Structure 1
Amino acid sequence: MQKIKGIPVATAIVAAFAFAGAAQAQEVIKIGHVAPLTGPNAHIGKDNENGARMAVDELNAKGFMIGGKKVTFQLVPQDDASDPKQATTVAQALVDAKVKGVVGHMNSGTTIPASKIYFDAGIPQISPSATNPKYTQQGFNTAFRVVANDGQLGGVLGRYAVNELKGKNVAVIDDRTAYGQGVAEEFRKSALAAGATVVATQYTTDKATDFNAILTSVKSKKPDLVFFGGMDAVAGPMLRQMDQLGVAAKFMGGDGICTTELPNLAGPGLKDSEVVCAEAGGVTEAGKKALDDFKAAYKKKFNQDVVIYAPYTYDALMTLADAMQKAGSSDPKVYLPELAKIHHKGVTGEIAFDPKGDILNGTLTLYTYKGGKRSLLSVVK
């Protein structure tokens, strides 16, 4: 056997190929995603994860490049079960795993405590669905969101309740979570300012299933409209029991109830045009095709319809990737300044952030339900 300076030729060739392979090895960029994958909100959490997974698969399929080199994205999914304590545990796990960015969390009540951990580690975080204003009011330069906040959401719903639905006497119920309380309080302030009277204020939890006591009390006040701050898993059974108790009032809620799953959860309690909700995002006519194309691709990939926020998790991850590409680096310290000044054309519209990390020129989409399907009312800037 021939030798090169005492090394067998075959061995030298193998070593050379190994070295070349190592030299060409792609950088693996870990991106964390956090949402509830267990518990009553798991159907929304999985929808969010699916959106992030679509983005990762698309980036890898097209050979995404950063700094002139092809990279591979790896999604690191975590389950926070909509629990604030579990949220901080999984946030620390993602920091320890050395993720380069985080998409999540889903709920405001989990996003807010986790954001401190990401900030301390210098890891950019984009929430696709947390709407409580406190998230971006903490002074964390790593915190961003791609949806409107509760101030915008509750404000629009309060005015709509009075001016369009003619709600003069309103009842307000919330689930005591950061999200539920936040959106209910903003609705209450806006409705009062528009001329409504709040005739009842009640509280429940995000895991409750029996609402007979609070609904009986609400019924005695004869409201024109009931506003609920919480998620669809609670709103559905509440609507069923309102129907059973004969509570003759329209029902309104924020983005937490504004899902394609609400008709299944509410059953006969979901009356045509009697429920109005708002998604904390949406597109005008000019952006409709891109969003419709995304929803069609989502259905083809997962054999189910978008529940609500999958397009926003997709856009959040794509925005992180765009910032890395513009910076020529996946190092959070290097690409964070690019993220802060990004202008990314997403399937949910133009994504750019104000100095706090809130979405600039955020939109809201008002829906009702007819024939068991979500029906568009209007898109509001």
Structure 2
Amino acid sequence: MRTLVRSVLAATLAALAGCSASTAPPAAGTASEATPAPLTDAMRAAMSAVLQGDGRDAVAKLQAIDPATLAEPARALRACMLDRLDARHVPAITLDDAFAASVLAAYREYWLRSLRAEHPAADNEAQLLAALNALVVADGGSAAASMGDVEPLLHRRIEAHGRHALFGQTLPLREFMLWSSETRHPYDVALPQGPQPVTVVFMDDFASLGWAGFASCDRVHSGGWTKPEGLYAVRGAYDTASEKFSVSYLAHEAEHYWDNTHFPTLEQPELEYRAKLVEIASAHATLLDLLDAFGGNTSEDRGVPHSHANARIVRELRTRLFGGDATRAWTSIDAARINAAAAELLAEDTHRLQVAAPRAEL
């Protein structure tokens, strides 16, 4: 089964660019801010490490920060993350469904083992599968051979008891998000290729905001994803009147939806590259924040698709606009030219994909 496209846009923008962050209710005992102030460069670097699944690097960067240099919200965030990633202290799980609580506990243990690099990745996933199978068997089911086999069993059990769950991968780690309520809203999204009708499922009442939320005490987390039936959004992550919603969520995810339909074999780094180009092509008020966010979270590793896409976009835009000059500030060029350059890159990539797969239904 193809991995769902996941967006860590709410995470990246909030943590790295200092935009309005998630207001989703945090898990009990975690530090969270409704409208946090921008982070210092040192805290942004720690968050970048978290988004790439490197908890050890995040801990090292956090430990190097003098807490006296931080404003109180950031100081509390640093302490919370160190308590979790370094001291291995986690908040209590308060759910009235013992099975769902046990599934969440199993994923938390896997996330800690993975983020702290306590064991090889394959061993961490094998340990998670064994823990989940034990829960399935205790609940009257049969053990599964793989994560792809056990996740549908868990999903059906959780849904049957009134909650909703997301499994699969938000690379580089296995994912588990858990929430209680949903509402639906139709939108017509203006993409560079033309209008894309979508239905957005707004999710509320989270018990788990996934591995990035767990690692960052809910300062950063996935803001949404796509499925064949529509787009899913963490309601608390967005002001629906803002560009953070209309551009960094809605247009980004609508592009995923369009690409999943027209180029179904695209891999995640390429999907993120195209969706992030749509953001840059469409943004006005948040354009500079987006460029700063992308530039502050880059990697050449395809295993971290968002960071890989960020690196490619920044490199290609600088080549097109500045002849590759890495010292030029984005403010030295008209914003409309940046928008246009991103749209050109997207159009060129679309043409290349069409030529490579001429029978795609466009």
User: How would you bin the TM-score normalised by the shorter chain?
Assistant: under 0.3
- Higher CA-based Rg: 1
> More helix per residue: 1 or 2?
2
TM-score by length of 2: 0.28
